[in-house]
Amino acid sequence: MFGSGILDVAIGLMVVYLFLSLICSVITEWISKRLEMRSKNLEEGIRSLLNDPEGNGYSMRFFEHPLIRGIAQNGRRPSYIPSRLFALALMDLIAPSDPGKGSRTINDLRQCASTLPEGLRTTVSTLLDDAEDSLKKARENFERWFDDGMERVSGWYKRKAQKIIFACALVATLALNADTISVTQTLFRDPTMRAGLVAAAQEIAKVPVSDTSQEPQKRITLISEEMKRLQFPLGWTKKSLEVFNSFWQILSKAVGLFLTALAVSLGAPFWFEMLNKFINLRSAGRKPEKAAAGEAKTG
């Protein structure tokens, strides 16, 4: 019984973390779109690949290529470029196709590559040498080179997004007075509150994982409605402000708020996965009602 209670407290705490993480996730995505973070990171990555830090050389010509302009929206830089499209556009920039001369050959690429700026020339020549006499292999080499570069770009984006998420987590935690220590104490004291959040967690787990923008809103709404029904103590009240009368209470509040912000910054996917694991653990540890009743009779 005691172990089950602790498990339920942990699940309830995870529901709170997931709720705040989802809010931060939605805000971060909105900020990312407003600041065009993905497209700017991609452009920065292309500049790095093409050894054009100022963006006024080959990278500018690359983004002006019809294949790349075709996937841009409203004159903005694209936020995603398929590796095959990158390779085809770059090969056409290096050795522009000429209908009068027939199909482009790898020797055409080698010859034209010698006129490229030094840093880019070295990279392109190495990729072409590795392809030997195969134009297809040359294209595949360009694709792999691009994919490797995009892994770094993805890392740049994640680090920037993580900073925004942590800032959102701090603001949301402070605004809602989501103190880990206080929430844990509430869940230990109130079995009704605990049971309600566990029930909400089981419903959250049923919401299918998808890439649609509606998924976070569904979970936010579900948790929010359950918290309202349970009158979960989030937010600042006259009573909660009394903690500022004591140094130790202020310290406890600061630690509790920081722990929440730190947990929330781990992100919604992390807490959704953890929540599912704990729900499965709880279900596995609970005996079926019929079996439990049978044991009671025989005892």
Mean pLDDT by 10 residues, the chain (299 residues): 76 93 91 91 93 88 92 84 94 81 81 88 92 90 94 91 93 93 92 90 73 66 84 83 82 94 93 91 64 45
Q: Cβ-count burial of 62 within 10 angstroms (0-12 exposed, 13-18 middle, 19+ buried)?
A: buried
- 3-class state of residue 277 by DSSP: helix
Angle at 15 between CA 12 and CA 20, to 5 degrees: 135
Length of the chain: 299
Tell me how far apart the alpha carbons of residues 261 and 282 are, in angstroms, rounded to a whole number: 26
Q: What is the pLDDT of residue 164?
A: 93
Tell me how far apart the alpha carbons of residues 293 and 277 are, in angstroms, rounded to a whole number: 27
Q: What is the pLDDT of residue 168?
A: 94
Specify whether the backbone of 116 is left (phi greater than 0), alpha (psi in -120 to 50) or beta: beta
Q: What is the pLDDT of residue 99?
A: 64
Q: Residue 192 is encoded by which pair of tokens?
A: 């009704």
Q: What is the pLDDT of residue 293?
A: 45
Q: Residue 204 is encoded by which pair of tokens?
A: 């959250």
pTM attached to this predicted model:
0.77
Tell me how far apart the alpha carbons of residues 213 and 42 are, in angstroms, rounded to a whole number: 22
- Taking a C-beta distance cutoff of 8 angstroms, is the pair 168, 28 a contact? yes
Report long-range pairs for 181-184 (Cβ below 8 Å, ≥24 apart): 181/252, 181/253, 181/255, 181/256, 181/259, 182/233, 182/253, 182/256, 183/12, 183/13, 183/16, 183/233, 183/256, 183/260, 184/9, 184/13
Q: What is the DSSP string of 148-201?
A: HHHHHHHHHHHHHHHHHHHHHHHHHHHHHT--HHHHHHHHHH-HHHHHHHHHHH
Tell me how far apart the alpha carbons of residues 232 and 273 are, in angstroms, rounded to a whole number: 23
Residues facing 98 on adjacent strands: 102
Tell me how far apart the alpha carbons of residues 206 and 141 are, in angstroms, rounded to a whole number: 43
Cα–Cα nearest to 265, from 164, 181, 165 = 165
